[in-house]
A and B are shown apart, each in its own frame.
Chain A
Amino acid sequence: DIQMTQSPSSLSASVGDRVTITCRTSQTFSSYLNWYQQKPGKAPKLLIYTVSSLQSGVPSRFSGSGSGTDFTLTISSLQPEDFATYYCQQIYSAPWTFGQGTKVEIK
Chain B
Amino acid sequence: EVQLVESGGGSVQPGRSLKVSCAASGFSFDEYAMHWVRQVPGKGLQWVSGISWDSGYRGYADSVKGRFIISRDDAKSSLYLQMNSLRPEDTALYFCAKDMGDSGNYPVFDIWGQGTMVTVSS
Same complex for A and B? Answer yes
A residues neighboring B (CB under 8 Å): 1, 32, 34, 36, 38, 42-46, 49-50, 55, 87, 89, 91-92, 94-101
Are A95 and B45 in contact, with the CB atoms below 8 A? no
Summed over the interface, the residue pairs from A and B with CB atoms below 8 Å come to a total of 54
- Further 5 A-B residue pairs, CB within 8 A, beyond A44-B109, A94-B59: A44-B95, A46-B110, A49-B110, A91-B106, A91-B108
Closest to B115 in A: A43
A11 to B86 Cα, complex, angstroms: 36
Closest to B35 in A: A96
For the complex, count residues of B whose C-beta is within 8 A of A.
21
Are A98 and B44 in contact, with the CB atoms below 8 A? yes
Which has the most chain B C-beta neighbours within 10 Å: A43, A87, A94?
A43
Are A50 and B114 in contact, with the CB atoms below 8 A? no
Closest to A34 in B: B108
Chain A hits for B106, CB < 8 A: 32, 91-92
Contact of A36 among B109, B114, B115 (CB under 8 A): B109
B residues neighboring A (CB under 8 Å): 37, 44-47, 50, 59, 61-62, 95, 100, 105-110, 112-115
Closest approach, in angstroms, between the C-beta of A64 and any C-beta of chain B?
Answer: 13
Chain B hits for A46, CB < 8 A: 108-110
Contact of A43 among B59, B95, B107 (CB under 8 A): B95
Chain A hits for B110, CB < 8 A: 46, 49, 55
Are B100 and A45 in contact, with the CB atoms below 8 A? no
Closest approach, in angstroms, between the C-beta of A12 and any C-beta of chain B?
Answer: 19
Are B112 and A43 in contact, with the CB atoms below 8 A? yes
Chain B hits for A43, CB < 8 A: 95, 112-115
A97 to B86 Cα, complex, angstroms: 22
A96 to B50 Cα, complex, angstroms: 10
Chain B hits for A100, CB < 8 A: 44
Are A91 and B107 in contact, with the CB atoms below 8 A? yes
26 CB contacts below 8 A, A to B, read A1-B62, A36-B45, A38-B45, A43-B115, A44-B37, A44-B95, A44-B109, A44-B112, A46-B109, A49-B108, A49-B110, A50-B108, A55-B110, A87-B44, A89-B45, A89-B109, A91-B107, A91-B108, A92-B106, A94-B59, A95-B61, A96-B107, A98-B44, A98-B47, A99-B44, A100-B44
